[in-house]
Structure formats: C-alpha cells, structure tokens
Amino acid sequence: MLKIVNAISKWMAIKLDLDDEKKDVIAYGMFAFFQSIFCILLVIIVGFIFHVLVEAVIISFSIAILRKSSGGIHASTPGICAIVGTLVPIICSLIIKNINITLYVVIFFGVIAFLISYMLVYKLAPVDSIKKPIKNTKKRLKLKRKSIITISVYLVLVILNLIAYYIWESYDLMVYSLCICSGMLWQVFTLTKIGHLLLSKVDDFLSNIISYEACEKR
C-alpha cells in the first residue's frame, strides 16, 4: 500500500508542480486515509464472522473519533496498528454480547466510565508522539477541549439510548450503550502510562511473531 501511495503522490506532485514537502504531506494524508479504510473493513469482516458486526463498528468508531483529538500511543507498524485496532473492538464486543446486561449494569458501568474518561482526558490529553510532538499551547488546549466535547457527545448518546430503552425496551440499545462506553474507556486507557506499557508489550509480541513468520518463509 505504501508503494501505491508514494506512486500516486509522486504523480500528483509532478502534475501540480509541488515541492517535496507538499508531496510528503499528500503521501501522509493518503496513507492515513487508506489505512483507516483498511482498518474499518477489517473490523467489519471479522465482526461479521463473529456475529458482532454492529457492536464492533460502534466500539471502533468510539475509539477512533476520541483518539483524533486525545492522541495516544502509536503502533510500530501499520500492520500491528490494524491488528490491535481489530482485536480490541472484537474482544470487547464478544464480552459485551456474552454477559447478562441489565439497566443497572449499564448505568453503573457508564457512570464509572465517564468519570474516569473526563478525569484522564482533563489530566493527560492530548498525548502526542515523539515523531509528531504538539508544542503549541493553544493547539494542546484546543485538542483537550475537543476531547472533552467528544466525551460529552458520547454521554448524550448513551443517555438518549437509555431513554429509548425505557420507552421501547430494546435490549440492543443497552448493548450499544456499553459499546460506546467500552470504546471510550479503552481510548482513555491508552493515554495512561499503564496503557502505554501494555500496548508496547503487545506491539513487541506481535513484532516478534511477524519477524518469526518472515524468517520461516525465507
């Protein structure tokens, strides 16, 4: 995929008479776009196989939307990013799908999830990376506000879901509420030092497996 992106960005740079810096910006944007599409398709396919399609998509989007402003640890390769980005929503969906959910469980879990999320985002967000540090104070404040607004939107969605459940008694609405809370909670967990440590270990483990498989093929 990287070769295709580089070829397209190079062609566009020639056609539009762009310098190398602008060409790199185009290449990065295109790669991020195609990577996102690939990850979404992967979640949809695996979610469909395990009969948790809707749940996995909700969790995946809950993570991705909040991550855009709150930041977090990055995987060492796009492949590992795709694997983790698929495993987390699928595992969370399977757990949610196979537990006995009641209104009290959703309310209890939701209150804890939102309290933790507001606290961690206020304290830690945005979490930048070594390659792309956020040094501008105004930008950091803007991203923190966006993160808080995103969590607030999630809160409204969960409340509306619970009101709708009270009216129509649709079990799925409680499931979807837990999915939103789970995705949000996972994302704020990745902002913490423990989250960084855990994901680093997972990254190393997957890197070793991929390296071993590559050596075996040779």
Q: Do 38 and 142 belong to one domain?
A: no
pLDDT digits (tens, 9 = 90+) for 11-22: 666 766 767 777
Instruction: Determine contact, residues 118/151, Cβ cutoff 8 Å.
Output: yes
What confidence score (pLDDT) does residue 19 get? 72
Cα 39 from Cα 95, distance rounded (Å): 21
Instruction: Determine contact, residues 42/86, Cβ cutoff 8 Å.
Output: yes
State the DSSP H helix or E strand holding residue 46, giving kind and residue range, or none if neither.
Answer: helix 20-49
Residue 187, helix vs strand vs coil: helix
Q: Do 81 and 140 belong to one domain?
A: yes
What confidence score (pLDDT) does residue 158 get? 98
Residues spanned by the domain of 42: 1-49
Task: Dump the DSSP string for 115-140.
Answer: HHHHHHHHHH-SB--SSS----HHHH
Q: Do 62 and 157 belong to one domain?
A: yes
Question: Comparing 23 with 112, which gets the higher pLDDT?
Answer: 112
Q: Do 106 and 83 belong to one domain?
A: yes
pLDDT digits (tens, 9 = 90+) for 25-84: 777 777 777 888 999 999 999 999 999 999 999 999 999 999 999 998 888 888 899 999
- 208 CA to centre of own chain: 23
Q: Do 117 and 210 belong to one domain?
A: yes
**Number of structural domains found in the chain:** 2
For residues 85-107, average pLDDT: 96
What confidence score (pLDDT) does residue 209 get? 86
Q: Do 209 and 103 belong to one domain?
A: yes
Cα 187 from Cα 69, distance rounded (Å): 11
Dig out the tokens for 43 from the structure. Answer: 């979640």
Query: Who's near 152: CB < 8 A, 6+ residues apart?
Result: none
Instruction: Determine contact, residues 121/188, Cβ cutoff 8 Å.
Output: yes
Q: Do 37 and 82 belong to one domain?
A: no
The confidence band for 1, taking pLDDT boundaries of 50, 70 and 90, is low
Q: Do 60 and 40 belong to one domain?
A: no
